[in-house]
Amino acid sequence: MVTNDRAGPAAALPPRDGLAERVRQMLGSVRFLMVASGAAFIVVVNALIGYGIWQHHSETMESARSSAQHLARTLEADAIQTISGVEQLFADVRYVLSIHPDAADRASPRIYEYLHSRREAFPQIVDIVVVDADGRILHHSADTNPPSVNLADRPYFTIHKNRVDAGLHIGGPTVRRVFFPGAMVIPLSRRLNNPDGSFAGVLVIMVNPSSLNGSFANLRNGLRGTATLALTNGTVLAHQPAEEALFGAGLGDWPALAKAIGAREGTQVLAMPDLRSERLVSFRQMHDYPFVVIITQELEDALADWRRDSAAWTFIGVSMTTAIAMLTWFVVGQHRRREQDQEKLAQASRRIRGILESMVDAVVTIDSRGRIETFNPAAEQMFGYTEAEAVGKSIGILIPEGFRRDHDRWMSNYRPGQASRIIGSDREVLAMRRDGGTFPMNLAVSELVLHDEPEATGPSRVFVGVIRDITLRKQKEAELIAAKSQAEMANRAKSEFLANMSHELRTPLNAIIGFSEILDSEFFGQLNDRQKACAKDIHDSGKHLLDIVNAVLDMSKIEAGRYELNEEPLAPHEAVAQCLMMVRDRARDAGVALVDAMAEPRPIVLADHRAFKQVVLNLLSNAVKFTPAGGSITVQSRMHEDGSLAISVIDTGIGISPAFMEHLFEPFRQADTSASRRYEGTGLGLSISKNFMELHGGTLTCTSEVGAGTTMTLHLPAARILEPKVHAAKKTVAGAAA
């Protein structure tokens, strides 16, 4: 036996192929396309919203940068204007000092007046000080007699003394020593030279820092942030708002800012030294002066509008995502339900098709023009046409030639909604097979309305015909009719025979009964005990045989419909009492107690005396026969609400088995049919009693339980109940007639 080592991997291919096929089916399904489309739409919408938020963020940041840069340029221009004015003042004062004859005189009044006037012309200037080469105050704009203070240790003096090219020196904020000591000033200084170029001293102009702060405060225009003017070495000259301690001694307290200012200008997002917030920082260095203008704004404030708009767009995105998801879910659910409905319709169609194909009866449907649309297998077998041959053809191919004209006339005259003798009823008609042979069939036609719209395409209604070949049934009916005729003839002959035989038997029986009574009366002489017993047996046997003959005769009359009731007023309780007297001796011999519960007189009824008493006597006789010793028989009556009368014979006998109940009232039927049966009888009593009650328009019913007893109830309808006055009137008429 040779094995293939590759069989294992090959065997695994079908599951993978099946999985791939299921994946392909899933990817190609409409439901997957709907979900994918909804998901793609959600992704696109959120991507567009995200892109819009990102772009708005970029635009907001760009706008904040532009605003900060514009403010930095504006503050730069304002600072340059202030410094330029101071520079012009430097030039004027240096020129005056170079040509004025009192310039070298300490505390010259005329120089003081000049300096004082120039200080008053510039509000931002606090003082103008002229320092000689030794560091002593030579002239002062604040007083004609300035104090002798040595300023040789001041940076603005030492830098000019040591450097010829120092140019304009701007110092950091410093505390005044003279004239309002303790006040903060910003010293601006330039070197004074002798005609030979040697160091002659320093001209110092003290600028009030608050003037720069006020200028910055006016230019901020409500900007939530800070505006700072600092030297390139990091010394802060002016800062707004003053209450916000953004810097300490200088820009060195914010290393990231100090590092960024290494560039000429720029705008960056920098973290605060405390790392608790970020700020948008725009800085700009001046070209001709060692100044840096710094504008800062809280990043949260700069992005406040963007965050608000982003929250709104995010809410819109979430709402649209939710709406699209719910819409997709709803559409997918609708499609799923539609697929389920289509599957149910397909199953129903297959079920209906299966039912049509499995039906024994032929089913043919035609449209309103009489063309065949459906032809099931039973129809194929019945008519000899295949479905392909029959569909689309006129229904006339199934109708014999002589009946086609009537059918065409009916189709042309048919009006929807009108009563038709064909629709909804069974008809026996002739049909024609493919070979031309005809056969009888039962046809049931129903109308199926497809749609009532006039503009709808296709047929608006079809006619469904259910066809059954009744050839065999017709043959059976003919056979049954013939058999029925024969049975009726045989029954009639039997009835006539029984009637004739009954008449023939009653005459000798009456003679036998009469002679036995004569013998028993000892009319012809005395008889011994044995002879008397024989005479009694002859009498009882003849009487019993006569009862049987009478019963058979009554049954024959009833079956032949020749029994006529002799109706007259009857007191039910009296008739019942008479019947109880007739069976009293027999009940006493059997050890059965009789109870008459009809003590209350009942209304008079209109009935046949003999028939009524025979019914009651038959019921009592059966009760005595089938009740063991020690039992009881009770007769009671009751009036129903509808006015009918019910009389019941209740015994405590052996009862009737459920299997025999359906045959109880059939003639000649007995529960025990064996040769050793205990109870004698012909089986005609209950059948005759039931027929007598039906002749009166009433009924005879039975309820029984094996071992517990039987209740036989006869019902007389309300029409048989006579009022007392009617009975009295009839008695009067009867008396007058007598």
CATH number of the domain where residue 440 is located: 3.30.450.20
Task: Kindly state whether residues 576 and 647 are assigned to the same domain.
Answer: yes
Confidence of residue 651 (pLDDT cuts 50, 70, 90): very high
Does the pLDDT value for residue 564 go beyond 70? yes
pLDDT, tens only, 414-456: 666 554 556 666 788 888 888 888 888 888 888 877 665 455 4
Contact 366, 359 (CB under 8 A): no
Cβ neighbours of residue 636 under 8 Å, at least 6 residues apart? 597, 598, 647, 648, 650
Secondary structure E strands in 213-329: 225-231, 236-240, 265-271, 278-285, 291-298
Torsion of CA 348, 352, 353, 359, to 10 degrees: 160
Cα–Cα distance measured from residue 616 to residue 608, given in angstroms and rounded to the nearest whole number: 12
pLDDT, tens only, 400-416: 887 877 777 777 666 66
Task: Kindly state whether residues 433 and 482 are assigned to the same domain.
Answer: no
Give bridge partners of residue 125 from the DSSP assignment: 207
Query: Does residue 704 lie within any of the structural domains?
Result: yes
Question: How is residue 222 written in tokens?
Answer: 């409500």
Cα–Cα distance measured from residue 598 to residue 64, given in angstroms and rounded to the nearest whole number: 118
Confidence of residue 5 (pLDDT cuts 50, 70, 90): very low
Confidence of residue 223 (pLDDT cuts 50, 70, 90): low
User: In this predicted structure, what is the pLDDT of residue 673?
Assistant: 41
Query: Does residue 632 lie within any of the structural domains?
Result: yes
φ and ψ at residue 202, rounded to 5 degrees: -140, 135
Query: Does residue 186 lie within any of the structural domains?
Result: no
Q: Which of 293-297, 369-373, 523-527, 702-706 has the lowest mean pLDDT?
A: 523-527
- Please give the model's pTM, rounded to 2 decimal places: 0.46
Q: Which of 73-82, 117-126, 420-429, 694-703 has the lowest mean pLDDT?
A: 420-429
Task: Kindly state whether residues 392 and 424 are assigned to the same domain.
Answer: yes
User: In this predicted structure, what is the pLDDT of residue 269?
Assistant: 85
Residue 566 per-residue DSSP state = -
Task: Kindly state whether residues 369 and 484 are assigned to the same domain.
Answer: no
User: In this predicted structure, what is the pLDDT of residue 639?
Assistant: 87
Q: Which of 11-15, 80-84, 333-337, 703-707 has the lowest mean pLDDT?
A: 11-15
Does the pLDDT value for residue 730 go beyond 50? no
Share of the chain above pLDDT 70, in %: 78
Confidence of residue 650 (pLDDT cuts 50, 70, 90): very high
Which of the pair, 635 or 245, is modelled with greater confidence?
A: 635
Contact 431, 438 (CB under 8 A): yes
Q: What is the mean pLDDT of residues 507-528?
A: 73
Does the pLDDT value for residue 70 go beyond 90? no
User: In this predicted structure, what is the pLDDT of residue 676?
Assistant: 37
Residue 548 per-residue DSSP state = H
Task: Kindly state whether residues 542 and 464 are assigned to the same domain.
Answer: no
Task: Kindly state whether residues 446 and 486 are assigned to the same domain.
Answer: no
- Exposed/middle/buried for residue 209 (C-beta within 10 Å: 0-12, 13-18, 19+): buried
Contact 97, 130 (CB under 8 A): yes
The greatest distance separating any two alpha carbons of the chain, rounded to the nearest whole angstrom, comes to 214
Which of the pair, 625 or 28, is modelled with greater confidence?
A: 625
Q: Which of these three, 414, 443, 469, is where a domain ends?
A: 469
Task: Kindly state whether residues 588 and 703 are assigned to the same domain.
Answer: yes
Q: Identify the domain containing residue 379 by its residue range.
A: 359-469
User: In this predicted structure, what is the pLDDT of residue 427?
Assistant: 80
Contact 633, 650 (CB under 8 A): yes
Task: Kindly state whether residues 608 and 721 are assigned to the same domain.
Answer: yes
Give the SS3 label for residue 708: coil
User: In this predicted structure, what is the pLDDT of residue 734?
Assistant: 43
Does the pLDDT value for residue 394 go beyond 90? no
Cα–Cα distance measured from residue 125 to residue 209, given in angstroms and rounded to the nearest whole number: 9
User: In this predicted structure, what is the pLDDT of residue 649?
Assistant: 92
pLDDT, tens only, 456-509: 454 577 888 888 888 888 888 888 888 888 877 776 776 666 666 666 666 676
Alpha helices in 100-206 (DSSP H): 109-121, 155-162
CA angle at 137 for the pair 132 and 138, rounded to the nearest 5°:
60
Q: What is the mean pLDDT of residues 676-695?
A: 68
pLDDT, tens only, 246-292: 555 577 777 777 777 777 788 888 887 765 678 888 888 888 788 88
Query: Does residue 287 lie within any of the structural domains?
Result: no
Contact 461, 447 (CB under 8 A): yes
Which CATH number fits the domain that encloses residue 612? 3.30.565.10
Task: Kindly state whether residues 434 and 402 are assigned to the same domain.
Answer: yes
User: In this predicted structure, what is the pLDDT of residue 677?
Assistant: 42
Does the pLDDT value for residue 145 go beyond 70? yes
Question: How is residue 242 written in tokens?
Answer: 């003053």
pLDDT, tens only, 581-633: 888 888 898 899 998 888 667 788 898 888 888 888 888 888 898 899 999 99
Q: Which of these three, 469, 493, 517, is where a domain ends?
A: 469
Task: Kindly state whether residues 529 and 586 are assigned to the same domain.
Answer: no
Query: Does residue 539 lie within any of the structural domains?
Result: yes
Task: Kindly state whether residues 444 and 570 are assigned to the same domain.
Answer: no
Query: Does residue 53 lie within any of the structural domains?
Result: no
Question: How is residue 566 written in tokens?
Answer: 């002799």
Cβ neighbours of residue 501 under 8 Å, at least 6 residues apart? none
Indicate the average pLDDT of the chain.
79
Query: Does residue 617 lie within any of the structural domains?
Result: yes
Q: Which of these three, 469, 489, 510, is where a domain ends?
A: 469
Secondary structure E strands in 325-389: 362-367, 372-375
* Owner of token pair 């409500």: 222
Query: For residue 543, which amino acid is it?
Result: K
> How many domains does the structure of the chain reveal?
3
Query: Does residue 371 lie within any of the structural domains?
Result: yes
Task: Kindly state whether residues 596 and 537 are assigned to the same domain.
Answer: no
Helices and strands (H and E) in the chain: how many? 19, 23
Confidence of residue 713 (pLDDT cuts 50, 70, 90): very high
User: In this predicted structure, what is the pLDDT of residue 3?
Assistant: 44
Does the pLDDT value for residue 202 go beyond 90? yes
Confidence of residue 9 (pLDDT cuts 50, 70, 90): very low
Q: What is the mean pLDDT of residues 633-662?
A: 88
